[in-house]
Structure 1
Amino acid sequence: MISCLIVDDEQGAIDILKTFIEKTPFLTLAGSTTNPIEALSMVQDQVIDLIFLDIHMPQISGLDFMRLLKGKSKVILTTAYSEFAVEGFELEALDYLLKPIAFERFLKAAQKALNTSMETSPRWQAPEKDDDYIFVKTESKGKMTRVNFDEIVFVEGMKNYVSINTGEDRIITLLNIKDLEDRLPPKNFMRVHKSYIVSLNKIKALDGNQILFKDMKAYVPLGETYRTAFFEALQEKVMGGKK
């Protein structure tokens, strides 16, 4: 989770950002304040990953605040004026949100923060393969859904999206199958076809080139290219594995 602080001299603007943060699964609100001096103290006293920072404030402007911050937290600037964008980016702001802020634009900036965190800081990273869930974007704009690994039966790759099948639900997400394969724990999931990944724990039987699942009528084809590796993985679970 990315810990967030909102700094804005207008309470109405704070309330909007609070609502947006609550709707974003990988963000958590650590605090908010209309006082930039208080905000500097908060950053010193607790771990703040990301600050939504207004530029026009009394006492200290948002740009001066960033200079005092010295890179301790990532910053997304918020303002009703666009003329300070260049200076903000020179100070390494992640993004620049113009008020009034639409949720879709907010989410794009938040995703940029998440992507940056995955590249630079292990503490910020999205769930590792040893964790038991991920969040995925769905067809609904601005919506992200939690997917627990132990609920996944199989994954089907389509042309521009992926279908995650849990037996009870089918989640459509705007990923490609390789991206999702890289996020799933390899000890439990395996590519068995150019268009399919299966949960080894959910397999009921193999009938020719068809993989059958527990409590589910659907089946997945076993591709010739993946056949040898699949049987090797399966052997580890058969009668105590290889002798």
Structure 2
Amino acid sequence: MIDCVIIDDEQHAIDLLLEHISQVHFLRVVGTATHPVKGLQMITDLKPGLVFLDVQMPHLTGIEMLKLISKDSHIIMTTAYKEYALEGFEHAVVDYLLKPVPFLRFLKAVNRLWTIHNNNKPVAEQDHYVFVKTEQKGKLLKIDSRRINYIEGLSNYAIIHMDDQKKIITYLKLKELSEHLSARGFVRIHKSFIISLSHLTAVEGNMVRILNEERPLSIGDAYKKEFLEFINTKMLTAPPDHTTN
């Protein structure tokens, strides 16, 4: 578990980060502050592993605060201004997030921190496994999360579609599954679907293709913007053409 402090002079920005953090099982908020001086004292007292730090604040900017925060606390910077990114990275911050922060971009940043937190060691073999309740009372099933293609929500239960076409019924809701699997490379794309990003093979308009699955899955309107923003971070683009006639 990584303790977090959020420092931002805009409460609505804090509220958005609180919502994102609530969906990540290895993060815990221990304090928030809208005044940078109060936030600096909070960091000194609580010694959090992670600080979400706004750049533009009155009295003391985030860049100025970077020089005062102990190196024991990792920093993820947030701001509406792209031009501050370079200076932030010069101070070895974990990542730099543009407001309003999309969840998938947030998830990419905190997963990077999780790797750093674990000293960049490969995830232990047992950490790939999860246990789920099945339709049989009292029975728990051990599943290798790397073999999950996608999860389909149906009312109060879910169907886990495995890479060998096996289907596992579990009495969990998608919200619960999403919270536990978000740090393992899974993302919710629809009110009825969570997919494994490692098994995603193509995005076709409002549909996605999953490895070894015949039917495409729909991208829900409520999830489309954040999902496509994440896909864009992985997009390869051609370098500018500087040739002249």
TM-score interval (norm. to shorter): 0.5 to 0.7
Is 1:75 matched up with 2:75? yes
Partner SS state of residue 68, structure 2: helix
Q: 1:127 to 1:61 in 2, by over 3 A?
A: farther
Match of 2:140 among 151, 164, 187: 151
Does the CA contact (< 8 Å) of 2:6 and 2:31 recur in 1?
yes
| SS of aligned partner of 1:31 | strand
Residues 12 and 24 of structure 1: is their aligned pair in 2 closer, same or farther, counting only changes over 3 Å? same
One-letter amino acid of the structure 2 residue matched with residue 152 of structure 1: L
Indicate conservation of the 8 Å contact 1:152/1:166, yes or no: no
Give the alignment's TM-score, normalised by structure 1.
0.55
1:43 maps to a residue whose letter is: I
In the superposition, the TM-score normalised over structure 2's length comes to 0.55
Whether 2:170 is the aligned partner of 1:169: answer yes
The answer on whether the counterparts of 1:114 and 1:126 sit within 8 Å (CA) in structure 2 is no
Q: Deviation per CA, 1:3-41, whole angstroms, max 9, x where unpaired?
A: 111000011111111111111121111110011111121
Which secondary structure does the structure 2 equivalent of 1:16 belong to? Answer: helix
Cα distance in structure 2, aligned partners of 1:84 and 1:45: 28
**Structure-to-structure mapping, 1:22-61, within 5 angstroms:** 22-61=22-61
> CA shift at 1:72, angstroms?
2.6
Q: Quote the offset at 1:120 in angstroms.
A: 6.1
1:96 aligns with 2:96: yes
Larger RCO: Structure 1 or Structure 2 (Cα < 8 Å, ≥ 6 residues apart)?
A: 2
Deviation beyond 3 Å, 4+ runs, structure 1: 125-129, 146-176
- Asked whether the 8 Å contact 1:154–1:166 carries over to 2, the reply is no
Give the number of the structure whose alpha-carbon radius of gyration is greater: 1
Separation in structure 1 between the aligned mates of residue 104 and residue 145 of structure 2, nearest angstrom: 27
Question: Percent same amino acid at aligned positions?
Answer: 36
Residue 24 and residue 158 in structure 1: after superposition, are their counterparts in 2 closer, same or farther (change >3 A)?
closer
- Shift in Å at residue 173 of structure 1? 4.5
Deviations 1:170-207 (A, max 9, x none): 9875569xxxxxxxxxxxxxxxxxxxxxxxxxxxxxxx
Consecutive unaligned residues of structure 2, counting only runs of 5 or more, are 134-138, 151-160, 172-176, 178-194, 200-245
Change (3 A) 1:157 1:19: closer
Secondary structure, counterpart of 1:97 in structure 2: strand
Counterpart CA distance in 1 for 2:100 and 2:2 is 23
Matches of 2:21 and 2:144 in 1, distance apart?
29
1:77 and 1:88 in contact (8 A); partners too: yes
Structure 1 unpaired stretches of 5+: 137-145, 177-243
Alpha-carbon shift at residue 70 of structure 1 (Å): 3.6
Quote the residue 2:223 is aligned against.
none
Q: Secondary structure at the match of 1:119?
A: coil
Residues matched between the structures, number: 160
